Structure 1
Amino acid sequence: MFEGVLTKMQTEYTKPINYYLVFENNYLNFNQLLNKKIQIKFIKFECLSCHLDKPIYRQGFCKSCFFETPKAADWILKPELSKAHLDIEDRDLAYEKEAQLQPHIVYLANSSSIKVGVTRKSQIPTRWIDQGAHEAIEIAELPNRYLAGIMEVALKDHVSDKTNWRKMLQNDITDENLATYRDQLKQYIPEEALPYFINQNEETTIEFPVEAYPVKPKSLNLSKTPEYTGVLKGIKGQYLIFEDQTVFNIRANEGLVVNINSMPS
């Protein structure tokens, strides 16, 4: 039996990926629970910033913290809004400099279809694993988040920046030649970001621990269903996949305190 506040699963780039749910005093390797019955029970909320039992608003934060913490500022989801390179503060300049003024990767990932994205270089390949991508490739390595953001904005006119979570979980995917797509997109890169284009590299492939994919995935909402029991059949992206087509997005439920119990089949 494990109990703690949910945060996104930690991963290990192996074949297949190893998934770990880390709590304050212990951790759970979900790969070891494949084909076993597990129970998930909602206990209470715990904001990832103030740690109070307050309803989660977004990204694991209560409403007041969401609009105050630098970890939920607009530049997180919109890198082109980054201003630390100009020495301009949004919420906490020291935090923003540390996060924004480091190497960032603009990439193509194929999860439900080809999408463009941005992440810190240190988050490769973790970011691709979290998105459920079975293949991915770097387009450019840039010195800060702002440059990566303006490149992504330019490329979004020519390739999606969204993942269809249902198609990803159904494994409704097609292998693509991402290097060819990367080369075709080069013409749309802004001039100030063009020197950082990667001319030659290879795709990264990712294998997920899934015994059976859902045909019609239905999302578990612990606010409406505070207790659920099912047989775990796989893990992909940040989703647990169960035998009855139920799927549970760990990351979308950050800040919820849960009890997880492995039960006799």
Structure 2
Amino acid sequence: REYAYPDTLVVFPQIYPLEELGLPAKEPFGAIRVRRSLFTDPIKTQGIRDYQPGDRFRDVHWKATAVRGALQTKVYEPSTGMSIAIFLNVATMPQHWMGFHPDVLERAVSVAGSIANYGSQQNWGVGLYANGSVPNSDQPIRVPPGRAPEQLGHVLEALAAVTEFATGSIERMLLRESPALPWVSTIVLVTAVVTEEIMVSLIRLKQAGRRVVLLSLAKDAPPKGVGNILTYHIPASTPAFQKEVHGRTATEAALSNIPTPEPVKIEFE
């Protein structure tokens, strides 16, 4: 008998230390260490209580209100820790019909992977959202934030599947996915193009109380201070992109922390 066992080679993105990307070694995404009980998670409800002046209208539990005949407000569970949601814009040109820059996209993927690796090292929940499509599908890439030991592997596998074909605009994806994220999540956008539409979306998220960070790989540095958004510029001349040996070392260190599945034993009769 002959048995065919197709193999799939997954090429993970190169991982860099954040300092080599020009980010500060301490609190690169701002002062985000807070007491766990300070915030609540808007997607985890633990009960209800009577409405109180000052409660948000969107937190009203309408079914319970109808049953009890008085306004009831949802009570959310305290947040269980910090998390980081990485949004990757696969577009490298302002318009899709203008083509794309493969080298720029590769650097953007590596930056996203490096951030995920950093978050994993900090024991944060790490998630990835990209407006590129899942292989053999028209669905965008979504890896919700998680802290499982294999989470970094899931994120890197998703990044390995990224192509230049965008399923939609990153600004729409930001606004669509952000409501489902834990409230203490830091939203980090990695993009090679910074358009007015993108900035408007980031400002809206910031004004809504979200923690927002912009990492631009564009040739020109984006204006700082717009909407009070923490912004970094990571051009092609960044030291990390000039040190291939250091990058490989960081990549190997990251991969060594990803659990390896046990080999499957196959017996033939």
Assess same fold via TM > 0.5: no
Structure with the larger strand share: 1
Larger radius of gyration: 2
Q: Which has the higher contact order (CA 8 A, sep 6+)?
A: 1
TM range (shorter): under 0.3
TM-score (norm 2): 0.23
Structure with the larger helix share: 2
